[in-house]
Chains A and B, each alone.
Chain A
Amino acid sequence: MATFIDGFLWYFALAVFVIGVSGNLVTIILASRKVDLSVPRDSAFSGALRTLFSRFLPDQHMLSRIGIQVVAGYMFHLGLFILLFFAAPHVAFLEENILGFGWTAAPHWLFIVASQFAFLGIIMLWLYRMTNSVSRLISKLDDHVATILTFLVMLSGCLALLESFETLRLLHRFLVELLLIYFPFSRLMHAFTFVPSRLFTGAWFGRRGVDS
């Protein structure tokens, strides 16, 4: 079991993830779209860049209407980002197994606080999805599976924090592998597609001289 999770399944999951994600991105980028023949009013390039970064900030009009989602959303995504890329065990894993180089990990307390924010965020977001009737109606099975799978990955990681039980480490890794396999076929792809999406929208607006 351990050799399967650490060996075959890991490489399989990684292959599915890399091929799936790059395949999706290539499809999106190469998709044919209508050529805009109008005279550009402004630079499409600067518009694309501006939008890519300006969309990281919350929209004022949305904030007042869906405050929980905005606040919990930021909590979840920022927390997840920190704990995913700056937790000491994650940095060590990436250095040893994938990248070959590492970076300074966050101190333990920051890792813990970040994961607490992420946990609170994901719980509230999923509950909002379930309690708000509109959110509930527009949610597909994919949304629930993605949320619960992400939550389980985080939870198993949290339970394995002592880093001393092989079974707990394997459970965490197994769930990560399931997530990696599921990733390219789900809305989790937004972790990558937000970039071309914003760039495209930004370029389109920029070309028309819309300051967005």
Chain B
Amino acid sequence: MLKQNMVSPVGDILKFLSILMLLVITVISQPTFAAVEGEPEGVIMKNPGADLWREVRQRNIAIEGISQIKSVDSGILINPEADRWTRFRVDQLVNYAAIILAGLALLLLVFYLLRGKIKVEGGLSRQMLHRFSDYERVLHWTLAIVFLFLAITGLTLLLGRTFLIPLFGQEFFSLLASSSKEGHNLFGPIFFASLIMMILRFVKRNIYEKGDLTWLVKGGGIIGKSHVSGGFFNMGEKTWYWIVILIGLLISVSGLILVSPNFGQGRVIMELSHIVHVISAIILIAVSFGHMYLGSVGTEGALESMKTGYVDVNWAESHHDRWAKECRDNNRVISADKFNRLQGKINSGTEESGSVAVEGNK
């Protein structure tokens, strides 16, 4: 609009104009144009170049025209976010994801070699506590299986071009990537469903309470040997739970936006969803490494709770003392013999091989 003011209808004034241009005083030139208004007028037509390309491309926002091709974003000629997304994926995402995950796995290995398995204080007793019901364990392993499947297929798509194509060749990797993509798309909503069930079942026991801060201060007993206090879930487990739920929801929602491209969401939304999806997924996979480590080789007796639903009383004492006390008060402690009978291990004989540790390692 500014340009229109600067140039008023002019005819035969080229000489005049050149002189003015030489003077380079536009402000003074304005009244001069007005003075030659009476001259024969030419048709004013702006060179569309400037305005057109301004409309076609802006640095930050996509401008929308119209198109006879009716599809999402078909009116946008240039989407500036596309380049940013490309740079993010090519320059940062692939490298950092690989470094973070590989580094973390290495770190856990070093930690295991240094710290070893965290033993149950006072060894395993011959008394058990019921910790997780069948449904809770089914839920846990459902989420775990679906999560692992999604993590493997997702990482195949993310890192495969860099690491797997040199290994398998392009054609076989394409087959692998195609199966990964289809599997990932189909199992994604299953993860969402399991996550919802997880929220409904466990949310009550995972609300933070008074004693949790002490746990945090003492470092959860991972570092050092001090005794840390905890309820049914201790502070670390609660934090893991909330990471799973919150980041899991983020992953699920962004994933649903990506998996159903037919609800009119444009490319910019999908690019953002992809970034959210992949960053939160990397975080969740990274933290899950820690969970899998602590739940299996890291802590003695922890896996038992998810395998059989029962835990050793001494294990409960060292990790969940408040819960253990509550169970003792309510007479919920059962003997190892009864536990074996409940597990259907009657044949092994209760007298000769009574040790739970032996049974548990089967």
**A/B touching: CB–CB < 8 A:** yes
Given contacts A128-B138, A131-B134, A136-B344, contact A123 B145 (CB under 8 A): yes
Partner of B182, one of A120, A127, A136, A162: A162
Chain A residues positioned under 8 Å from B58 (CB to CB): none
Band of interface residues on A: 20 to 34
Q: Is A16 an interface residue (CB 8 A)?
A: no
The majority secondary structure among interface residues of chain A is helix
In the complex, which of the residues B138, B179, B183 contacts A127, with contact meaning CB atoms closer than 8 Å?
Answer: B138
Q: How far is the CA of A158 from the CA of B174 in the complex (A)?
A: 16
Chain A residues within 8 Å of B178, by CB: 159, 162, 164-165, 168
Write the chain A residue with the least CB distance to B341.
A133
Residues 141-174 of A, flagged 1 when their CB comes within 8 A of B and 0 if not, give 0000000000000010011111011011000000
Specify which chain A residues have a CB less than 8 angstroms from the CB of B145 in the assembled complex. Answer: 123, 127
Is B45 in contact with chain A by the CB < 8 A criterion? no
Q: Which residues of B contact A49 (CB under 8 A)?
A: none
Of the candidates A67, A134, A158, A159, the one having the most CB atoms from chain B within 10 angstroms of its own CB is: A159
A116 beta carbon closer than 8 Å to chain B: yes
Interface residues of A in 103-142 (CB under 8 A from B): 112-113, 115-116, 119-120, 123-124, 127-128, 131-134, 136-137
Tally inter-chain residue pairs, CB-CB below 8 A: 72
B146 within 8 A of A: yes
A158's partner among B134, B183, B194 (CB-CB below 8 A) is B183
Name the A residues within 8 Å of B146 (CB-CB).
Answer: 123
When the two chains form the complex, which single residue of A120, A137, A161, A162 contacts B142, counting CB atoms closer than 8 Å?
A: A120
Give bound CA distance, A119 to B309, whole Å.
Answer: 24
Closest A residue to B179 by beta carbon equals: A159
When chains A and B are docked, how far (Å) is the Cα of A132 from the Cα of B182?
Answer: 32
Q: Establish whether residues B182 and A116, one from each chain, have CB atoms under 8 Å apart when the complex forms.
A: no
- Smallest CB separation, A69 vs chain B (Å): 10
A210 contacts which chain B residues (CB < 8 A)? Answer: none
Chain B: number of interface residues, binned into ranges: 20 to 34
* B134: chain A residues within 8 A (beta carbon): 68, 128, 131-132
Chain A residues whose C-beta falls within 8 Å of the C-beta of B181 in the assembled complex: 162
- A211, chain B: closest CB distance, angstroms: 33
- Chain B hits for A128, CB < 8 A: 134, 138
Query: A155: which B residues are within 8 A, CB to CB?
Result: 183
22 A-B residue contacts at CB 8 Å? Answer: A115-B186, A116-B186, A116-B190, A116-B193, A119-B187, A120-B142, A123-B146, A123-B190, A127-B142, A131-B134, A131-B137, A131-B141, A134-B344, A136-B344, A161-B182, A161-B185, A162-B178, A165-B175, A167-B175, A168-B175, A168-B178, A168-B179
